[in-house]
Structure 1
């Protein structure tokens, strides 16, 4: 790779609002352009772009599904012969794994986004004739990026491949999540959750807790997803409608987090929760149910939040925080920025890619 830039292709199904899409877009814009020539390949449509790509070369296939863009992807790789291809999310990782057979000089890197064995318990699985291909996909990658230690251990238990190919690279704190300058008034207590409205996100247990919280509060939910109808049915059942604001999408998430006192994390499983580190970054502590996917790596009890193990403990801890709020925004922010700031995380991506290309040269 001496004397020329490394040709890096970052492939994604779409650029709609989402954690994986945001991290990939951020990586494309922030990676060292003196060493890398980056192209984002999007299977979906240009109209769906939700992120500022700051002049990054972007190619759209205009397909509604990844399967419909298979030949577009193969033709693109044949034409451009990139040094590295980075993909994320299961079905696209599966496609890239088998595409690697036809491009032996290209290094293929998978970025996994979930603790798969746990996520499967929340997903309706239809008969899948490609299951064998999915099961074996990690064997064909040159590197597999895990977002958390939990994810790495889960892949070891669930899949058979060369585990030396795995590397843990957490999600970065992206731009805009600056620490709040002052604490907002505590009456009512401002609670917030940002995330997809899906079964695995645990809104059911958060709403159950809130239905028993006998203190003045207002809860803001930001996100959209397939469980919206069921979640709002629960809100009605618990008679919480006048205490909850729902926002499907906003570009002002940092401001909403700064105006909140406590972030409520209810998920049963995560990959590595962006919203949790972003909340802490602005100085808003997190009350989280223990769950696989990085929670145990992020939360420092009493410093940036608490990790609890039952609904009763969640309610008890939430009441305690509301009645005696001792968190210092600057300390909450420092606890995550020292580990997940963008410079640290981007350098880890760069180091991995440079190592792969060194192997390629050899």
Structure 2
């Protein structure tokens, strides 16, 4: 009896730098070749690619917007007739929910990237329209992959989705770097934050905490770009922190930067599954993070690989007493995540899902 591989089509808006783009292209390129025939469709442009996808069968639609990709996408799915279509990013998921009306035999799987009820507070979308549309079209999909338990619960409570149509699969550690042995510095402390410079990421409340530090010297590196860049730089100037803060718009050497710092700071009001925070722990750099809705609490273990704080007062208290708290060893910090979020383990969860759906 001949075994027929399952044909899986992954759809990404682009292969520009981004958490969803990195994680899904990584997984698509590493599914078992004896079980799956995989194709990746990228709506955007080949020249924007920043991730190595090896020999993965990839088709670029060379479109700048989803609306311009609808017809070619429809034609590809009609010709390919895959068993499963896997999409990520909300607007692409919504389009696939609509496509499910016309492709009855295809199983559509969407990957949700945020706690939408909270994230909508920071977007310009009409939340009532978006909520209704998401509730209708997500319900048409065979399965929604949530990155955290908070996302799963949000999909049930906010969108009214059935629990049976939801599953939780965390993001993997895509690279396991060599850990430099030793303890975290106690003299001049180097803080770092990596992420989009947008309101929900909470950079301003990090700066408000740092400006109050008087009992030790520190530096703060911010990696990222986004719409709040001017506001963040204004706040740094007003807080007299210009000599302590440096900006890096983009770098491909994220792990090296994390290894060269002592603490990762996360000020987010809402998170998906914070890849940069996970990567920080993976290289042995502990974190101080606000306990925001999303996957942060599934990574951070208090006094083991960092600290979760509930508010700005707690945040400053941790910062002010940082040299009196846990004496973190980098290998111990890394050990808290390398088993739980091991890439092989996470990919196996995706393979099980795509095999049985």
Flag whether TM exceeds 0.5 (same fold). yes
Structure 2 segments unaligned to the other structure (5+ residues): none
Aligned-pair CA distance for 1:183:
4.6
Look up the match of 1:133.
133
SS in structure 1 of the partner of residue 82 of structure 2: coil
Partners of 1:136 and 1:160 within 8 A in 2: no
Matches of 2:127 and 2:148 in 1, distance apart? 29
Note the 1:275-314 alignment, pairs <5 A.
275-314=276-315
Structure 1 segments unaligned to the other structure (5+ residues): 357-362
Tell me the alpha carbon deviations over residues 263-310 of structure 1, each in whole angstroms, 9 at most, x when there is no partner. 101100001101111101111111011110012211111100110112
Partners of 1:172 and 1:340 within 8 A in 2: yes
Matches of 1:137 and 1:193 in 2, distance apart? 35
Look up the match of 2:265.
264
Q: 1:150 to 1:2 in 2, by over 3 A?
A: farther
Look up the match of 2:210.
210
Partners of 1:6 and 1:37 within 8 A in 2: yes
Q: CA RMSD in A?
A: 1.7
Aligned-pair CA distance for 1:325:
5.3
How many residue pairs get aligned? The number is 356
Aligned-pair CA distance for 1:179:
2.4
Look up the match of 1:155.
155
State the TM-score, normalized to the length of structure 2.
Answer: 0.95
Look up the match of 1:347.
348
Matches of 2:2 and 2:19 in 1, distance apart? 34
Look up the match of 1:36.
36
SS in structure 1 of the partner of residue 268 of structure 2: coil
Look up the match of 2:335.
334
Look up the match of 2:191.
191
Note the 1:88-167 alignment, pairs <5 A.
88-126=88-126, 132-167=132-167
State the TM-score, normalized to the length of structure 1.
Answer: 0.94
Matches of 1:221 and 1:101 in 2, distance apart? 44
Aligned-pair CA distance for 1:63:
0.8
Look up the match of 2:181.
181
Aligned-pair CA distance for 1:237:
1.1
Aligned-pair CA distance for 1:341:
0.8
Partners of 2:184 and 2:327 within 8 A in 1: no
Q: 1:130 to 1:120 in 2, by over 3 A?
A: closer
Matches of 2:194 and 2:2 in 1, distance apart? 43
Tell me the alpha carbon deviations over residues 167-214 of structure 1, each in whole angstroms, 9 at most, x when there is no partner. 000000111444233457544201111111110000010010011112
